[in-house]
Structure 1
Amino acid sequence: MRKASAAFRLLAPSIAVGVLVVGCGPNQATPPPTTPRSAAPVPAETSAADKPRTIAPSPSPLDLPVGSLYRNPANNRDEVVLADVRHTAVLIGDSQAMPKDSWPQRGISALGYKLHVVGMGGTGFVASNGKTGNYIDALQRGDWLLPYGDPPLIVVQGGGNDATQKATDAQISSNAERLLAALKKRYPGARLAMIGTLARGADNGGGRRSEVDALLGRIAAKQAIPFVSAGDWLTRYDAVADLQDGVHMKPSGHAKLGTVLARELGALGLTARPDTDTSVSSE
């Protein structure tokens, strides 16, 4: 009995350890595995291609000073900004039209238009002067600075230099038709008109100048464009005495024929529209 008690005392610590081990066994709840918390989403970096782009607007011709050049995106040509293009007539001509108070300028401005004049002495539908080409070449090369916008009227005057340089009817007709087609395309809203070649008339020594005037009249009729014949004006209106060199007019002749031209253009219905500012300026 004493041996049994001694044995028990020896085994008691081992039993206690076993109980402790069992108590820490499967009967104790095991904490669930920890789930990592999701991090806040980081916005993706925007690439340069995805970022909105700010495109600087092209300068508007309305913001440019008068006289500035503007590259018209519609035709890729430099054009001049005018103060009031809606009330400005464009005159294309030779030395008859170039003086500021010339009879073509006087006649057009008397109808209530401002003026923008292009061209040069010695040129025509075929004729050139060594500094610039004929009318259609000068237009296509950009020798002239035509206006930006929509002029109400474009008037083409000339033919005298074509007569002097002995251009043929076929050459004059071809170039004149090309010029008119180009002007119609560039300014579809403008009215076109033509002024013929100043001369003495077929019965008074007008010669080739009067012939070219008649030819231009036929071209205008074919194109349904108003035409003013000047092929006999020097004799019809007693203006021979107003010539300064046999071809060009003195101031008295410009004044006389300017009045005639205004009357003729008005009769063709080319007077400026009622809302046109009647003040006159030459660009």
Structure 2
Amino acid sequence: MRQSSAVFRMIAPLIAVGVLMVGCGPSPAPNSAPSLSPMPVPAQTAASDKPLRVAPAPSALTPPVGSLYKNPTNNRNELVLADVRHTAVIIGDSQAMPAGSWPQQGVAALGYKLHVAGMGGTGYVAGNGKTGNYIDALQRGDWVLPYGEPPLIVIEGGGNDATQHATDAQITSNADRLLAALKTRYPGSRLAMIGTLARGINNGGGRRTEVDALLGRIAAKHGVPFVSAGDWLTRYDAIGDLQDGVHLRPAGHAKIGVVLAQELTALGLAARPDSAPAAK
């Protein structure tokens, strides 16, 4: 017994050292990743130690409402609306610009919110000295269209083209360009055109009524619904509602707005329920 105890005392330290060596295992190689719960390491470029830029989360890419967004698909600034899916766009001249104008009243009556673009004194060919005609102003970004896809885009005008003596060829060329640009930019939106408010060919409508008829032919060529307004001042007894021979007083806007709403509804352009399929 005494001899066995002496032997145990001699080998015990060797056993302890072996246990420690087995428990610890080999030391990890330099720069190797830990086997458990690795800490994230920022990505690095091959040429430098600076971390790469990490793309933001998808939610961070959504532009805020009311901001201008540079759309990468067309390289143009577009306005972010709160509800573009229920918003109609009106492109027009001074007939459409004032709040409560007959184009605005007529389109809004169909169940749409509104986004109005364009400027007074302009048209398919006509410019106002500060901005160009419809297609040039659109291409230059003088006014902006919505981001997304509105259900309806309505183009109104022609009066200033008549005043500035634009030719049929000039109006046709620019209208063709404008319609092509809008169809490309908003392939799922419905388009419509409203002609030139006038007295009618037999009541002093003159060139304004002629432009209205021309726009009707252009719209037909492109398969775009068209509302002729070339004799409305006479037909709907609105001459007395004019304030300057061309523009209407509020009562006239209300009167003609009702007519426009009826015409657009008859063309099937009223706002669709959310469940209805989209169509051009």
* TM-score of the superposed pair, with normalisation by structure 2: 0.80
Structure 1: how far apart are the matches of 2:128 and 2:216?
24
Residues 165/101 of structure 1: CA separation in 2 closer, same or farther (3 Å cut)? same
Counterpart of 2:162 in structure 1: which amino acid?
Answer: A
- 2:172 corresponds to which residue? 173
Trace 1:152-191 onto structure 2 (pairs within 5 A).
Answer: 152-191=151-190
- 2:100 corresponds to which residue? 101
Q: Which moved more, 1:44-53 or 1:59-68?
A: 44-53
- 1:112 corresponds to which residue? 111
- 1:78 corresponds to which residue? 77
1:243 and 2:242 aligned: yes
Aligned-residue offset at 1:145: 1.3
Residues 148/166 of structure 1: CA separation in 2 closer, same or farther (3 Å cut)? same
Q: Which moved more, 1:46-55 or 1:85-94?
A: 46-55
- 1:195 corresponds to which residue? 194
Aligned-residue offset at 1:152: 0.2
Aligned-residue offset at 1:180: 0.3
Aligned-residue offset at 1:43: 4.4
- 1:49 corresponds to which residue? 45
- 1:219 corresponds to which residue? 218
Q: Which has the higher contact order (CA 8 A, sep 6+)?
A: 1
- 1:26 corresponds to which residue? none
Aligned-residue offset at 1:112: 0.1
Aligned-residue offset at 1:224: 0.2
Residues 60/69 of structure 1: CA separation in 2 closer, same or farther (3 Å cut)? farther
Q: Which moved more, 1:101-110 or 1:40-49?
A: 40-49
Q: For the Cα contact (< 8 Å) 2:241–2:252, is it kept in 1? A: yes
Structure 2: how far apart are the matches of 1:247 and 1:59?
50
Q: Which moved more, 1:68-77 or 1:161-170?
A: 68-77
Counterpart of 2:263 in structure 1: which amino acid?
Answer: E
Structure 2: how far apart are the matches of 1:63 and 1:180?
29
Query: Aligned residues: percent identity?
Result: 75
Counterpart of 1:135 in structure 2: which amino acid?
Answer: Y
How many aligned residue pairs are there?
A: 239
Instruction: Classify the secondary structure of the residue corresponding to 1:171.
Output: helix
- 2:86 corresponds to which residue? 87
Aligned-residue offset at 1:257: 0.2
- 1:148 corresponds to which residue? 147
Instruction: Classify the secondary structure of the residue corresponding to 1:161.
Output: helix
1:272 and 2:279 aligned: no
Q: For the Cα contact (< 8 Å) 1:136–1:179, is it kept in 2? A: yes
Structure 1: how far apart are the matches of 2:93 and 2:200?
20
Counterpart of 1:208 in structure 2: which amino acid?
Answer: R
Counterpart of 2:161 in structure 1: which amino acid?
Answer: D
Q: For the Cα contact (< 8 Å) 1:125–1:134, is it kept in 2? A: yes
Residues 61/240 of structure 1: CA separation in 2 closer, same or farther (3 Å cut)? farther
CA RMSD of aligned residues (A): 2.4
Q: Which of these two proteins has the greater Rg computed from alpha carbons?
A: 1
Structure 2: how far apart are the matches of 1:49 and 1:86?
42
Counterpart of 1:49 in structure 2: which amino acid?
Answer: T
Q: Which runs of 5 or more structure 1 residues have no equivalent in the other structure?
A: 1-38, 277-283
Residues 67/232 of structure 1: CA separation in 2 closer, same or farther (3 Å cut)? same
Q: Which runs of 5 or more structure 2 residues have no equivalent in the other structure?
A: 1-26, 34-40, 276-280
Q: For the Cα contact (< 8 Å) 2:131–2:137, is it kept in 1? A: yes
Deviations 1:196-247 (A, max 9, x none): 0000111111000000000000000000000000000000011100100000
